Structure 1
């Protein structure tokens, strides 16, 4: 994994502030975010092509993130 791969999103931290240093965990997290980013961009562009208001599109996407639910109780993940 290159330095760019390791830093393209964030330095991943645990709740206690320590760094997630497992190469495979960081790789999976970054790959997941790459996929989500591309899907969001595609949906955003589709909406704009369908003449949906840009501000509304952004608000709906932000609301989706805000509604995410943590399925694991604190300290169990």
Structure 2
């Protein structure tokens, strides 16, 4: 399965409209790239230590699902 890179993601507002501010897009893309690299490092470390790839993937999915934002979405 091919994943989207940060450059191909269209970041959207809650109403579905794309984010237009280039600085916001830059920050979101940088955050995405940093998180991707961290997850890649976690996966590689775990596999080198003999862990199950499926379990690591499940743990990463669960981690994302557990994250609760400090505040709600901004109104449009």
| TM-score range relative to shorter protein | 0.7 to 0.9
**Residue 35 of structure 2: aligned partner:** 36
TM-score by length of 2: 0.84
Per-residue deviation, 1:9: 4.3
For 2:51, the equivalent position in structure 1 comes to: 52
Q: TM-score, normalised by structure 1?
A: 0.83
Tell me: higher relative CO, structure 1 or 2? Use CA pairs within 8 A at least 6 residues apart.
Answer: 2
Corresponding position of 1:17: 16
Aligned-residue CA RMSD (Å): 1.5
Aligned residue pairs total: 70
- The answer as to whether partners of 1:20 and 1:26 remain within 8 angstroms in 2 is yes
Distance 1:9 1:39 in 2: 20
In the TM superposition, structure 1's runs of 4+ consecutive aligned residues that sit over 2 Å from their partners are 73-76
The DSSP-based 3-state class of the residue aligned with 1:58 is helix
